[in-house]
C-alpha cells in the first residue's frame, strides 16, 4: 500500500467514533440470572467515570448513550457537564416503554389510548432530555407486538405506531433525529410491530429526513445477510446507526465481533463502500451489549477494538483490484481481494495508530495496569442492575 493511502487509512481510524452504552457498565445479563460484579457503577455519573476509562485507553469511544429511566437524574445538563469534564459527550437517548406493568399489551401500539398517551409522554420527555444533554439522537426500540393470532389487529397497531412516531417527529428540534430500531421477535412472539428493516424503513420514509433506521446486529434471523441491509439503507440515505453486538442464537448482546468477526468485517466493508465512514457521515456506531460473565470495562474495550479491527480491514480492501475483478467477471479474484483484506493482521497497524494518538498501543494491558478495577471494587459498594433486556 502506498504511503498516502496508508496515511488515509490511519486518519480514518483515528477519526472513528464508537458510542458505548451506559447500561453495559452496570450489572445486567440474561433473564435467567444476573451475576453481580463488584465495583460496578451506582449512579449514571459513575457509569460515565467508567466510560472515560474506555475512552482513555482506546481514544475512539468519547460518546456514551443513555437509557431513560435507568439513567434518570434531576439535572441532565449537570450530567452532560460531568461527561464533558471527563472528555465525553452524551449520545443517543434510549427510551424505555417496555418495563412498566402498563405495557403488558404494548406501548405506543397498545389498544388503550391512555397507555398510548403515557408512552408518548415518555418519548417526548426523552426529547426534553436530549435538549438538556445536547444529544442528537433519540433511539426507539418497541417491545410492542402480540403473542397470539387474533390478539390484536395488526393493521390498527401500525396506525397507532405511526401516529406516535409522527408526534415525536414533530417535537424534534434542529439537528435532532429519531432512530427506529427493529427486532425480529421477543418479547412478542407471534407478531412484532417493528420486526424488520422494511417496516422501520417504511415508517421512517413517511416521517422524513430526521427519521432513520438503526441496525442492531443481534436482531435478525440466522443466515440474514445483514451487509445487504446495510448497503441498501445507506444507498437510500436511511441508515442512522448501528447497535453492534455479537449473537449466536438470538438477541445475545455479547461482545461485538466475538462470534463472527467476518460478518462485522463484511458490514464495515459496506459502510466504507457506501461512504458511511469518516468525516461527513452521520452514522452512529453504537454498541448495545451487556456483560454478565466477563468483567465489564475490559469487555467494552475489547468490543471497541473488535470494531476498530473490522474497520481497519474494510479500509484495506483494494478497491481497484476488487472492481477490476468484478467487472471482468473473475469471481475468484474478486472474492480473493475481499478475503486478502479480511485475513490481514491489522493489530500492528492499530498499535501504530494508537501510538500516533499518544495512547498505549495495548489498551487491554493498559487498563489492567491502571489499577482502576481495584479502585472501584474498594470504593463502590452496591452497584445497580441496569434493567432487563439490555
| Chain contacts with ligand PSV (rule: CB under 6 A) | 94, 141, 181, 183, 216, 243, 251, 253, 288, 389-390
- Burial class of residue 34, CB neighbours in 10 A (0-12, 13-18, 19+): middle
Q: How far is the CB of 90 from Mn ion (least distance, A)?
A: 18
Picked from Mn ion, ligand PSV, none, the partner binding residue 309 (CB below 5 to 8 A depending on kind) is: none
Of 67 and 354, nearer to ligand PSV (C-beta) is 67
Instruction: Look at residue 192 and give the partner it binds from Mn ion, ligand PSV, none, a contact being a CB closer than 5 to 8 Å depending on partner kind.
Output: none
- Under 8 Å between Cβ of 306 and 272: no
Give the distance, in angstroms, between the CA of residue 353 and the centroid of all CA atoms in the same chain: 24
Which element (helix H / strand E) includes 215?
Answer: strand 211-216
130 binds, among ligand PSV, Mn ion, none (CB under 5 to 8 A by kind): none
Report long-range pairs for 262-266 (Cβ below 8 Å, ≥24 apart): 262/342, 263/217, 263/226, 263/227, 264/217, 264/306, 264/307, 264/310, 265/310, 265/313, 265/314, 265/341, 265/342, 266/226, 266/227
Residue 390 binding result from ligand PSV, Mn ion, none, given CB thresholds of 5 to 8 Å by partner type: ligand PSV
The CB-of-350 to Mn ion minimum distance in angstroms stands at: 26
- Which residues within the stretch 282-311 sit at the binding site for Mn ion (CB under 5 A)? 288
**What letter would DSSP give residue 104?**
G
Question: Considering the rule CB under 5 A, would residue 71 count as an interface residue with Mn ion?
Answer: no
Shortest spacing between CB 186 and ligand PSV, in angstroms: 7
Residue 243 binds Mn ion, judged by CB under 5 A = yes
d(CA 366, CA 361): 8
Q: Which stretch binds Mn ion (CB under 5 A): 103-111, 116-124, 211-219, 357-365?
A: 211-219
- Closest distance of CB 284 from ligand PSV, Å: 12
Based on CB atoms, which residue is closest to Mn ion, 16 or 245? 245
User: At closest approach, how far in Å is the CB of 216 from Mn ion?
Assistant: 4
Rounded to a whole number of angstroms, the minimum distance from the CB of residue 290 to ligand PSV is 8
- Map residue 320 onto helix, strand or coil: helix
HSE, side-chain direction, 13 A CA sphere, residue 67: 24
The pattern of x and - marking residues 316 through 335 that bind Mn ion according to CB under 5 A reads --------------------
Among 152, 193, 216, 309, binds Mn ion (CB under 5 A): 216
Write out the three cell numbers for 345. Answer: 493482521
Please say which residue, 18 or 346, places its beta carbon nearer to Mn ion. 18
Q: How far apart are CA 6 and CA 13, in angstroms?
A: 11
Neighbour-count burial of 318, counting CB atoms closer than 10 A to its CB (0-12 exposed, 13-18 middle, 19+ buried): middle
CB of 65 to ligand PSV, least distance (A): 9
Task: Give the cell for residue 282.
Answer: 452521520
Taking a C-beta distance cutoff of 8 angstroms, is the pair 92, 286 a contact? yes
Closer of 251 and 318 to Mn ion (Cβ): 251
Chain positions contacting Mn ion, by CB under 5 A:
216, 243, 251, 288
Amino acid at each position: 500500500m502506498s504511503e498516502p493511502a496508508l496515511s488515509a487509512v490511519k486518519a480514518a481510524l483515528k477519526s472513528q467514533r464508537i458510542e458505548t452504552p451506559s447500561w453495559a457498565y452496570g450489572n445486567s445479563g440474561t433473564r435467567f440470572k444476573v451475576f453481580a460484579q463488584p465495583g460496578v457503577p451506582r449512579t449514571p455519573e459513575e457509569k460515565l467515570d467508567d466510560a472515560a476509562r474506555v475512552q482513555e485507553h482506546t481514544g475512539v469511544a468519547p460518546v456514551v448513550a443513555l437509557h431513560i429511566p435507568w439513567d434518570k437524574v434531576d439535572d441532565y445538563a449537570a450530567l452532560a457537564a460531568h461527561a464533558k469534564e471527563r472528555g465525553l459527550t452524551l449520545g443517543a437517548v434510549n427510551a424505555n416503554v417496555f418495563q412498566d406493568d402498563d405495557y403488558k399489551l404494548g406501548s405506543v401500539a397498545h389498544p388503550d389510548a391512555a397507555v398510548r398517551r403515557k408512552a408518548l409522554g415518555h418519548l417526548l420527555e426523552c426529547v426534553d432530555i436530549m435538549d438538556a444533554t445536547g444529544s442528537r439522537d433519540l433511539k426507539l426500540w418497541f417491545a410492542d407486538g402480540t403473542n397470539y393470532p387474533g390478539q390484536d389487529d395488526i393493521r390498527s397497531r401500525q396506525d397507532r405506531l405511526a401516529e406516535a412516531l409522527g408526534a415525536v417527529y414533530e417535537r424534534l428540534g434542529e439537528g435532532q433525529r429519531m432512530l427506529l430500531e427493529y427486532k425480529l421477535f421477543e418479547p412478542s412472539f407471534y407478531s412484532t410491530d417493528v420486526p424488520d428493516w422494511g417496516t422501520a424503513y417504511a415508517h421512517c420514509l413517511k416521517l422524513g429526513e430526521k427519521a432513520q433506521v438503526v441496525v442492531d446486529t443481534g436482531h435478525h434471523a440466522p443466515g440474514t445477510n445483514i451487509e445487504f441491509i446495510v448497503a441498501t439503507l445507506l444507498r437510500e440515505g436511511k441508515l442512522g446507526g448501528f447497535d453492534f453486538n455479537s449473537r449466536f442464537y438470538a438477541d445475545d448482546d455479547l461482545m461485538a465481533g466475538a462470534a463472527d468477526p467476518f460478518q462485522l468485517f463484511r458490514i464495515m466493508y459496506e459502510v466504507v463502500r457506501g461512504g458511511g465512514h469518516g468525516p461527513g457521515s452521520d452514522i452512529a456506531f453504537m454498541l448495545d451489549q451487556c456483560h454478565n460473565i466477563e468483567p465489564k470495562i475490559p469487555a467494552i474495550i475489547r468490543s471497541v477494538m473488535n470494531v476498530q479491527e473490522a474497520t481497519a480491514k474494510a479500509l484495506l480492501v483494494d478497491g481497484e483490484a476488487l472492481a477490476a475483478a468484478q467487472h471482468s467477471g473473475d469471481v475468484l479474484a474478486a472474492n480473493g481481494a475481499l478475503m486478502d483484506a479480511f485475513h490481514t493482521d491489522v493489530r500492528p497497524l492499530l498499535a501504530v495508530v494508537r501510538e500516533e494518538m499518544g495512547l498505549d498501543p495495548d489498551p487491554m494491558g493498559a487498563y489492567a495496569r491502571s489499577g482502576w478495577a481495584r479502585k472501584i471494587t474498594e470504593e463502590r459498594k452496591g452497584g445497580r442492575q441496569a434493567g432487563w433486556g439490555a
